[in-house]
Chain A
Amino acid sequence: LAKTTQPISMDSYEGQEVNITCSHNNIATNDYITWYQQFPSQGPRFIIQGYKTKVTNEVASLFIPADRKSSTLSLPRVSLSDTAVYYCLVGGRGRGKLIFGQGTELSVKP
């Protein structure tokens, strides 16, 4: 499983767009990139997954450059309720185990 590196923490203000970048230099050809969100004292929640280029859903966008060695989770117009830890994971598109990295603690201020 490829190792990921993310910023430990980020601060933002309500209404701003937040971009969290994840590095995964050793990503394998079959690996997908998946992001999870975790609120305090709750289990993580799936946000988005992608393989290349751009993926968008109702919650976020995921940008993946051609070399796939990094990815950026984009949260549009964040609110206080987006304050959470965001995890980037890389792995094959199966139903296997997930290895979580350190995550990025996002703090959204009024």
Chain B
Amino acid sequence: GAVVSQHPSWVICKSGTSVKIECRSLDFQATTMFWYRQFPKQSLMLMATSNEGSKATYEQGVEKDKFLINHASLTLSTLTVTSAHPEDSSFYICSLPAFYNEQFFGPGTRLTVL
């Protein structure tokens, strides 16, 4: 099946800096990918839909200027958390829609903002 990788797997940064998270599809060409955020002991929250070659679609309440998404190729989507603050500390997960309602999820990126 499809394999989705994320880089880095964890990152620690200082408040005010920007962090880029990469999501790669290793087996499938992905015109669409999804980005989720998950706080401890909570469910996954869909942040945005990443569309290859066009603008991302953000869910209500997600700041598009803070969470920049770029999907420049069929195998790579990036999420940049700009001017990160401690409240942005979370587990960020990308996914690749495959067949029907099956999605392949990446291993996640743990972001800690000090």
Q: For the complex, is B95 an interface residue (Cβ under 8 Å from A)?
A: yes
Q: Does any Cβ of A come within 8 Å of B110's Cβ?
A: yes
The answer to whether B95 and A43 touch across the interface, beta carbons within 8 angstroms, is: yes
**Inter-chain CB contacts under 8 Å: number:** 59
CB distance from A1 to the nearest CB of B (A): 10
Interface of A is mostly: loop
The DSSP consensus for interface residues of chain B is strand
Determine the interface band of chain B, counting residues with CB < 8 A from chain A: 20 to 34
The CA of A46 and the CA of B104, in the complex, are separated in Å by: 8
Contacts of A110 in B (CB 8 A): none
A95 to B95, CA, bound (A): 11
Tell me whether B108 and A98 are in contact (CB under 8 A).
Answer: no
Q: Is the CB of B101 within 8 A of A93?
A: yes
CA distance A23 to B104 in the complex (A): 24
Q: Chain B nearest CB: distance from A62 CB in Å? A: 13
B32 touches A95 (CB 8 A): yes
A41-B91 contact, Cβ under 8 Å, with A32-B101, A97-B34, A98-B103:
yes
Q: Is B87 an interface residue (CB 8 A)?
A: no
Which residues 84-106 of A have a CB within 8 angstroms of B? 87, 89, 91-103
What are 24 A-to-B residue pairs whose CB atoms are below 8 Å? A34-B101, A43-B95, A43-B105, A43-B106, A43-B108, A44-B44, A44-B105, A45-B105, A49-B100, A49-B101, A91-B101, A92-B101, A94-B100, A94-B101, A97-B34, A97-B49, A98-B46, A98-B101, A98-B103, A99-B46, A100-B36, A100-B46, A102-B43, A103-B43
